[in-house]
Amino acid sequence: MTQRLQPHASTEPPGGPADEGAGSVVAEREALRTEPPKLYQVVMLNDDFTPMEFVVHVLQEHFRHDIESATQIMLKIHHEGRGVCGVYTKDVAATKVELVLAAARRAGHPLQCILETA
């Protein structure tokens, strides 16, 4: 949580009982509410050419899924045409999409990966 300091003058009159603090400035803390960042889904799309083993490898390598969850996501992609690989902030999700597309290009596969609001 971010806090902003707001100065305000002392309310004691000069020469009063608290003379040593006359004219001093006191900082009050005002709590600011920040919105959590919007989240985005990284979605992998099915195609007829990318091997299932490569999809599982990408899910393990770039999204840190274990073999079981990577296989389940790959089967969802295969049967339903798309599957969510992970949910991240916008910058992280965009980076993951670019890494997946680059890995697919290097391997010669037409695998598609997109970004959607969560």
Query: Per-residue pLDDT tens for 46-62?
Result: 999 999 999 999 999 99
CATH topology of domain 39-117: Ribosomal Protein L30; Chain: A, (3.30.1390)
Distance CA 14, CA 21 (A): 9
Query: Domain-by-domain residue ranges, the chain?
Result: 2-32, 39-117
Do residues 67 and 21 lie in contact, with contact meaning Cβ atoms separated by under 8 Å?
A: no
Look at 25 and 118; give whichever has higher pLDDT: 118
Q: What is the pLDDT of residues 66-110, one digit of tens each?
A: 999 999 999 999 999 999 999 999 999 999 999 999 999 999 999
**Distance set, CA 116 to CA 51, 69, 93 (Å):** 24, 21, 9
Poorest-pLDDT segment among 10-14, 23-27, 76-80, 112-116: 10-14
- Predicted TM-score (pTM) of this structure: 0.73
Tokens (6 digits) for 49: 């050419």
Parallel, antiparallel or unpaired: strands 82-89 and 112-117: unpaired
Distance CA 115, CA 38 (A): 12
pLDDT for position 13: 57
